[in-house]
Structure 1
C-alpha cells in the first residue's frame, strides 16, 4: 500500500507503524537518498505489498464475508425485492465514473489532467493504486473531499466511518457505487478496496485498480473477487 508522508513523520516511525525496516523502505523507494530527509506530502511504497486482485487470487473455501475477520463464507445473491440500484452523490455514481476508465492502466490514468486522473496522487506506485483510484472516484462523485482522500485502504475505511454521509451495509444491501474493502492476506494492511459493480449470474462483481498486468502493475478492471469482505460503505447523503 502507499503511505502519504505527514508533517513530523520520520522514516523510522513509518517503518515501525507498518512493521517493516528503514532499509527495506529505502530499497522500495530509491528516490530517498537520505533517511533523515523525507518530504511531507510525498507517498512511499511499502515493501513487499500489492493491493489488487491477482490473476491467481488467494484460494479460500468460500468467496467472502461481511465480517471483519479472515474467515470466508459463501456469497449469496440478494433476495427478491432487495435494492441493487446505483447510489449517487451530488456529481454522480462512483461506479459509472469508474467504468468510464475501464481498461486503462493506473499509471497512465494518473497523468490525466482532469477528472479521476487529476484527483489521483501521482506519487503512488503503479502496483498499489486501489485506494488512490477509489478515493478519486468518490471525489469526482462529490461524496468526499480532497482531505478525505487516502492512498491506504485502512485510511479510506476510517475516513468513511467518520463521515455521517456513509453507513456500513451488508452485501445483501449493496448498491452499485458502494465502497468495498477486502482482506487479501495475513498482514494488518493486506487489504484491497474496490467499487461494487452489481450482480452477475448470482455473484457480486467489483470494479477497481487491480494487479492485472504481467509486470504486476495495475489497470482498471471489473470482475468477481475471492477475498473476505471487511466493510461495505454506502453513501446516504
Structure 2
C-alpha cells in the first residue's frame, strides 16, 4: 500500500471522510490535491498532511459542465493525476411529500453527476503503461431502504452503477474503478442527520450498527487499499464498510 509519488485528487477534502482520506494518502507517500468549496477548511486539512507537494484546489463541483475542463487545468498546472477519490456529497433527509425538482437536481448533481464529469476529465491523455484508479465514496443507503433518505439512497445507488459501467468503459485506459459504501460514520454530516431526526429515530439508526458507528479513518483505510497496487486486480466492486450493519 505504498503510494509514494502518486498524485491523487480528493474531493470533499474539507472535513470528514474526505479529510481522513487525504491525511492517510499523504502518510502513504501520495501528493494530494485537495478539493472543496471552502479554501480555509482545505488549508486546515493541508496542515494535517504528511510530506510535501500537496495543493488546495477549491472549486464547486455542482458546476458539472465545467468539471472536466477544471480537471484538465489541474493536470496542466500540477502534473499527471494517478488517482481520484470522490468523497464530496450532500445528504438532505426529507420524506417524499417534500420532494421537489430543486432537491432532486442538487442531490443528483453533487452526488452523481459530478463523479461522472470529473471522471471524464481524469481519463484524458492517460499513460496506459500506468494503472490509474478511481474510488467513489457511496453509502449503504444505496443498498437498503431508509425512510426520508430515498433520494440520497438513489444517488448513492447510482454511484454503484456508475462504478460498474465506468470500470468496463475505462479498461482500455488502464483505469480501475471501485466504490466503498460506508454505514453511519461519525462525521459532521452524521451530526446534521441527527439534527434532522428525533432522538428516538437517531438512536434506532445507531442501534443497527453492531460494531458501533464508524470513524472516518475506517473508510479511508478501505479507500487507500482500493487505490493501491495491493488491489491491482480488483475492479468494478462496491466494498461495504459498515461494521456489520448489513448482517443485522
Fold-level similarity (TM above 0.5): no
- The TM-score with structure 2 as length reference comes to 0.25
Provide TM-score, normalisation by structure 1.
0.26
Normalized per residue, the structure richer in helix is 2
More strand by share: 1
Q: Which has the higher contact order (CA 8 A, sep 6+)?
A: 1
